[in-house]
Amino acid sequence: MGESWNSTNDNSPGVLRATGRGKFPQGYAARMGSAADVPRMLVAARRRAGLTQRQIAIALKLKTASGDGQSTVSGWETGANPVALAQLEAWADACGVTLDVSFVRPTTPDTDALVEAWQDLPADERDTYLQIIQARAEKARKT
């Protein structure tokens, strides 16, 4: 397994991660942020590996009728064009990093547990928390 990295600090270990939405097909936004992070992560992985856009294009066998594939790599790195999962996998391999794709179910509070915890509070504390919640809700309605 090769060296891995993340998009937040190119000098520290991490993992090239892709999950989300945006200009990329569903499931391709960076776990650390939005789909806009994927191009930045591609550039960082390529640079860490000491590769040029042309070398990545060759590694990914992107030679096209219109050129050597460098324009395709450039489009992915700028976010102008979507990149397929197979290309992300090949990119990671060429750069000696791992690719971690996750589909994460959004978490929601356990309503029953919240109600139970609320009911376990002494009456005066429930009143205090209720006043805080009502004040915040009112403030949110005004903004």
Cα 95 to Cα 106: distance, rounded to the nearest angstrom: 31
Which amino acid, one-letter code, is at 95? Answer: C
Three-state DSSP state, 70: helix
**pLDDT on residue 60:** 92
**pLDDT on residue 106:** 65
Average pLDDT of 108-136?
A: 83
| pTM of the predicted protein model | 0.51
> How many Cα atoms occupy the beta-carbon half-sphere of 58 within 13 Å?
5
To the nearest whole number, what is the mean pLDDT of the chain? 74
